[in-house]
Amino acid sequence: MFFRGFLREFKIENEAITGGIYSSVVPTLNPILERMFQDWFKIEAIRVHYQMKLPFSISYPRPYEIGADRLVNAAACVIDSPGKFIIIDLGTATTFCVVSEKPEYLGGVIAPGLKVSMDALTRNTSQLPPIVFQSPEKILGDSTIESIQAGFFFGWIGLLEGIIREIKKDKGQDYRVIGTGGLVTVIDAAHPGIFDKIDPLLTLRGLQILHQMNS
């Protein structure tokens, strides 16, 4: 497994692990993860959920529907630098989470993930090749691959800017936009100005914060 390889790579002995926390949005995996912590490290891992100690309140009619990853990201932002945030995570889904200055989790927006959308396009069309997401040199492509790259890049820029604009129109212009997720550095480098701050390690720091709060 990847996790075993990671421990070997960094020469970490099982006995050195004295605490654990995990964030899962696939409930069927939870028992497997818990058994892994028990069998390998002899510890009871903490599962991220809305009823645990959080550094913010939740203004949400059905808080049990909030993804654990969104709670983790919000925790990191609130502890790192309190304020008003729009947190964008470019993962399997593209999520927007809004946290007020109180701090209070107000809700958010969920859009398709970029890679999921790219894979769906090439999987469901017979003549379109798989592509790598990158910034195109121009809006009009001279080939099928360049055209797809332009569509996804500028389409996602439009999606991000459009949703941010609508959230600020509804909640106020003084919300800082924090970006995280696998492709955030690519988008920020090619089209700076969308995010006030990018933090690829936001989720990991949020896990650390919630572990400290709930141990």
Instruction: Give the per-residue SS3 of the chain.
Output: CHHHHHHHHCCCCHHHCCCCEECCCCHHHHHHHHHHHHHHHCCCCEECCCCCCCCCEECCCCHHHCCHHHHHHHHHHHHHCCCCEEEEEECCEEEEEEECCCCEEEEEEEEECHHHHHHHHHHCCCCCCCCCCCCCCCCCCCCHHHHHHHHHHHHHHHHHHHHHHHHHHHHCCCCEEEEEECCHHHHHHHCCCCCCEECCCHHHHHHHHHHHHHC
Annotated binding site for ATP: 6-13, 92
Within a domain: 43:
no
pLDDT at 194: 97
Within a domain: 102:
yes
Could you tell me the pLDDT band of residue 67, with boundaries at 50, 70 and 90?
A: very high
Annotated binding site for K(+): 89
Out of 69, 174, 188, 199, the active site residue is: 69
- Annotated active-site residue 69? The verdict is yes
Within a domain: 201:
yes
pLDDT at 2: 66
Within a domain: 87:
yes
Range of the domain at 54: 48-214
Within a domain: 10:
no
Instruction: Say which CATH number the domain at 165 has.
Output: 3.30.420.40
Domain count, the chain: 1
Within a domain: 176:
yes
Q: For 165-206, what is each residue's pLDDT tens digit?
A: 999 999 999 999 999 998 899 899 989 999 999 999 999 999
Within a domain: 128:
yes
What average pLDDT does the structure give for the chain?
91
Within a domain: 112:
yes
pLDDT for residue 4 is more than 80: no
Annotated binding site: 6-13, 60, 67-70, 89, 92, 144
pLDDT for residue 106 is more than 90: yes
